[in-house]
Amino acid sequence: MANLVIVESPTKVGPIKKYLGSNYKVIASKGHLRDLPKSSLGIDIDNGFDAHYINIRGKGDLIKEIKKEAKGAKKVFLATDPDREGEAIAWHLATVLGIPLEKTLRVGFNEITPSVVKASIKEPRNIDMNLVNSQQTRRLLDRIVGYKISPLLWKTVKSGLSAGRVQSVATRILVERENEISEFVPVEYWTVEAELKNADGKSLSVRFFGDENGKIRLGSESETQAVLDAINNGEFTVKAVKKADKQRLPSPPFTTSTLQQEAANKLGFQSARTMRVAQELYEGINLGSEFGGVQGIITYMRTDSLRISDDAQALAREFITEKYGEDYVPATPRKFIAAKGSQDAHEAIRPSKVELTPTSIRKALTPDQYKLYKLIWERFIASQMQSARLSTVTADVENSGYIFRASGYTVAFQGYMAVYEASEEAQAQSDEVAMIKDIRIPALKKGELLSASDINAEKHFTEAPPRYTEASLIKFLEEKGIGRPSTYTPIITTIIARNYVRRDGKSLVPTELGTLTTKIMEENFSNIVDYKFTANMETDLDKIEAGKLDYLDMLSGFWADFKTELERAEQKIGSADIKVPVEETDIVCEKCGSKMVVRMGKFGKFAACPNFPKCRNTKPLTPTAEESEQKEKEPKKEVIADFKCEKCGSDMVLRSSRYGSFFACSKYPECKFIKTKTQELDVPCPKCGGKVITKHGRNKSVFYSCENYPKCDFSSWDMPTAELCPDCGKMLFRKKGKNLLVCADKSCGYKRECEPQRTEVEEQ
């Protein structure tokens, strides 16, 4: 009789089964098996917030299979993910299987590696109801807010809208920044720069700083001209040269939020892409027999802890000593202090084995996996290395009582910088030296005269604060204590899906609908969109997890205040005349003469008559002649492959023809080498867990197949995605030629609209 191990993700099944051997059977729950019903609130507020959980539609067969396997098993190990959500899934599993809490065997794998999996199975624990209650409380709060406020929005603003507890706060952040930008008044200021030379003819670029009393801001042309008149008649003399040695400390290893921020800044990854790839690296990569086959190569990726295990730290120090030398290892191991309120259940994100260098396993990784793993590996190794030593120089040059300044530094000892340097955004937050440019300043002596080869004055205007990107929004949410590592990506995904926010390049811009909804929320539910209130709720959830607060007390306290707000809002909103602002076009309706407006439909934006339903005229929105001309002028972006031409060694670039896409040598027509393109999707095969690849049929149209064909016969005209059905947990497919996601299980019937699919070149 074998033991049964139940995990969440199907991709974990193979590796864990291999590590544990024939005495264990491993199956996947594919996420949650039970949840609150969609058709009703599902919470009996008057009866102690009793939650009515039901089996998720479409998971009946899976539940039967799990029950059957559990009935014949010697022991049942609940090995869902090691966080609040995973603990709740384990609790639901125990309920479905009828296992008493005191007899549950709960295990969590911080790494999917043989040693960690085997050690965890040997030391199971009971389900932690404090963790479960913390997750339950968040779920109930979100359900109450959404199901009580949303109907008010349907009546007064637009059908189908919904309000989320944390999503509404995130939208407010973006709306407030947009208001700052629109209300910003530019202020004029001037800079004066001089190109100087010493007696040896070496150049030095200096900028106006002020006078002996301190810094001066030049706010007008007249002030600037007064400085220019004075220095044109004077001499540039070296007043002071200050030299200093400074240390630059390495950044700590990644948490979920810092990984998302740095991946956005350095790699251009959206947070959803970062988390999807990190999940793949955690759950297991087939590294080949040389490196031990399938195994997870990073630790659990949802964490806000900076803690590193002693064993991992010792191995890292040993690796650094062998690779770079003893000078690169600090005398004592580094300890990083996490922000207040962070959880310490898991380590920081680090490679499972430091000896698995990015270069050594590159062939086993997809381009995205390699980029992210390299980022994680380098950041971790650098975090355990010696500080960099910088030699800084600041030179003050005087002319007619005015001070001009030049600053720079040189790297005296690389230290951790031999492996990794944080992005400019990250470095500027924690390092004063980051504000000094890496420039060379010639040897100067106090009192030395310098000749001016050029003096240039330039007018500038202060700029409005920038719009938030995903990286900067996540940073803001973390600083304010809003949300947790597992919620940042869903927050952003949700507010975009609800059309409260749109993307403009990397920027997140609130729509008119988002602005209006935020206004309604601020006027009627001020607590829900209050930063401090939301952060305090997160703190209370942490207290529930730690066993310091009863979850029913928190829910009761919240409901008492929210109920009052709700009753007041129902009267106030019900009497208000609220209309969603419309975007007017220059297109004139030929049927009634009105100017048409922009509407959102199933397949994107279109122009519609504002007099609907009296006039039902619609038109597709096409780019103007100027926009089309500008697009033609824009250079086409070439997609360069991550491999070289096999004939001449030049770059290979993506090309397309009527027969599909292929890679061609960039030196064409001198070199005519080509290679057909088989695109690999970042999704597992729904049948065997292998990689899904694109292929071309006889009619040259694309279809999807498993890389393990013919051993695995999976193929589909519809594109498999990384998303799972919220009803039954099975894979969602994008219907061919449509902006529609459908569940793989036809009996489930789940479907929803999705964003238009980008072309291969845009995806690359």
Q: What angle do CA 195, 196, 200 make, to 5 degrees?
A: 140
Q: Any idea what DSSP says for residue 144?
A: H
Distance (Å, whole) CA 738 – CA 740: 5
Distance (Å, whole) CA 161 – CA 166: 15
CA dihedral 1, 112, 315, 376 (to 10 degrees): 180
Distance (Å, whole) CA 224 – CA 216: 11
Q: Is 300 tagged catalytic?
A: yes
* 27 CB neighbour count, 10 Å cutoff: 17
Is 384 in contact with 317 (CB distance < 8 Å)? Answer: yes
Phi then psi for residue 152, to 5 deg, are: -65, -40
Sign of CA dihedral 726, 730, 734, 738: negative
Distance (Å, whole) CA 110 – CA 123: 14
* 761 CB neighbour count, 10 Å cutoff: 14
Lookup result for tokens 């811009």: 509
DSSP string across 689-749: S-EEEEEE-TTS-EEEEETTTTTS--EESSEEEEEE-TTT-PEEEEPTTSSEEEES-TTT-
Distance (Å, whole) CA 484 – CA 538: 8
- For β-strands 105-106 and 76-78, DSSP reports them as parallel
- For β-strands 595-601 and 584-588, DSSP reports them as antiparallel
Catalytic annotation, pick one of 19, 282, 300, 500: 300
β-strand partners of 724? 731
DSSP string across 241-306: EEEEEEEEPPPPPB-HHHHHHHIIIII---HHHHHHHHHHHHH-EE--GGGTSEE--B--S-----
Distance (Å, whole) CA 343 – CA 332: 25
- For β-strands 203-211 and 188-197, DSSP reports them as antiparallel
Of the candidates 500, 533, 414, 593, the residue with the CA atom closest to the CA atom of residue 165: 533
Supply the residues annotated as catalytic: 300
